[in-house]
Amino acid sequence: MISKPYVLASRETQTEDTIVSVGNVKIGGSQLVVIAGPCAVESKDQIMETAAQVRESGAVILRGGVYKSRTSPYAFQGLGMKGLEFLKAAGEANGMPVVTEAVSPELAVQMMDLTDMFQIGARNMQNIELLKKVGVLGKPVILKRGPSATIEEWLLSAEYMLAAGTKDIILCERGIRTFETNTRYTLDISAVPVVKELSHLPVIVDPSHAVGFRDKVSAAGLAAVAAGADGLSVEVHPQPDKALSDGAQSLYPEQFNKLMRDIEAIAPVVGKIF
Ligand code: PEP
Ligand code: MN
């Protein structure tokens, strides 16, 4: 008898950790993985340069948005499918699978051949038709927590995709909305051990969107690793001051490299291989 409203996502249904394979990368269990890249793909040169830098520091999956759900309609909206071609090429040139956000069921279908993993953005966590479609497509998915979603609502969104057919879901805590204004959102660190108890799915943390300011991203990322996260997703830009989106929270490549070396020191303490 399963006591939770989410069934397939529950630890009661599956006691062992789910390990998600993305290309040659495994996420979950004792592995610790870092996904890195710019908020948005801005040009071929920008994504190639970023990919080489984050790979050199030890990132194993390349991220980059090509359809950006911006708060303002006048802000940079992304390069679309052309950007995805650049992302895929940069991933291939550096031996990294790639992840990008799918913002609609139609675009998810179009993107199938050019991405190794989908991301469902925080704003779309309860876009039910998108969840169902991405679940049917069967590619690995990062499901971000909505900024106002409870853990139970988040796990029920994962349940939609599991029920539709995919097994490969990674949950990503990226900060929730609270009364605090010194950070962009509030990183719910305790969600990591809570979700790991409730679900067998891997849990990663995005410290970049959570805190919103680059000088605090590494502290939040290290805290997430210490809390037992299975990985991080970090925004890195070769020239954050010139970034077309989320520059304020994007790490300089040197800062990212320092964060990676600090993760190396913490990982063994929590029994992770890095
Ligand atoms: C992102 O990862 O680029 C992003 C837009 O994040 P979120 O959906 O968490 O705001
Ligand atoms: Mn971003």
Q: Would you state the pLDDT for residue 95?
A: 98
1 lies in some domain? no
Provide the mean pLDDT of the chain. Answer: 98
Q: Of 69 and 221, which is predicted with more confidence?
A: 221
Q: How far apart are CA 175 and CA 22, in angstroms?
A: 24
Q: Would you state the pLDDT for residue 2?
A: 82
Mean pLDDT of 174-195: 98
Q: Would you state the pLDDT for residue 256?
A: 98
Q: Would you state the pLDDT for residue 187?
A: 98
7 lies in some domain? no
Mean pLDDT of 236-250: 98
Q: How far apart are CA 63 and CA 42, in angstroms?
A: 12
Strands 20-22 and 25-27: antiparallel
Atom of ligand 1 nearest to the CA of 172: 9
4 lies in some domain? no
Mean pLDDT of 266-272: 97
> Separation of 62 CA from ligand 1 center, angstroms?
14
Mean pLDDT of 241-261: 98
2 lies in some domain? no
Q: Return the number of other C-beta atoms located less than 10 Å from residue 106's C-beta.
A: 11
Q: Is the pLDDT of residue 1 over 80?
A: no
Report percent pLDDT > 70 for the chain. Answer: 100
Quote the domain boundaries for residue 221: 20-270
Report percent pLDDT > 90 for the chain. Answer: 98
Longest pairwise C-alpha distance within the chain: 54
Cβ–ligand 1 distance for 174 under 6 Å, the answer yes
CATH number at residue 50: 3.20.20.70
9 lies in some domain? no
pLDDT in tens, 21-73: 999 999 999 999 999 999 999 999 999 999 999 999 999 999 999 999 899 99
Q: Find out whether 237 and 39 touch, Cβ atoms under 8 Å.
A: yes
14 lies in some domain? no
By the CB criterion, residues less than 5 angstroms from ion ligand 2 are 39, 246
231 lies in some domain? yes
Length of the chain in terms of residues written: 274
Mean pLDDT of 118-141: 98
Q: Would you state the pLDDT for residue 151?
A: 98
Q: Return the number of other C-beta atoms located less than 10 Å from residue 193's C-beta.
A: 13
Q: How far apart are CA 61 and CA 45, in angstroms?
A: 18
Query: Residue 133 is encoded by which pair of tokens?
Result: 């479609």
Number of domains comprising the chain: 1
Cβ–ligand 1 distance for 146 under 6 Å, the answer no
Q: How far apart are CA 98 and CA 89, in angstroms?
A: 9
* pLDDT confidence tier of residue 128, bands split at 50, 70 and 90: very high
- Atom 3, ligand 1: which residue's CA is nearest? 39
Mean pLDDT of 233-239: 98
> Separation of 251 CA from ligand 2 center, angstroms?
12
Q: Is the pLDDT of residue 97 over 80?
A: yes
pTM metric for this prediction: 0.98
Query: Residue 99 is encoded by which pair of tokens?
Result: 């992840």
DSSP letter (8 states) at residue 165: T
Cβ–ligand 1 distance for 170 under 6 Å, the answer no
195 lies in some domain? yes
> Separation of 3 CA from ligand 1 center, angstroms?
32
> Separation of 147 CA from ligand 1 center, angstroms?
10
pLDDT in tens, 135-176: 999 999 999 999 999 999 999 999 999 999 999 999 999 999
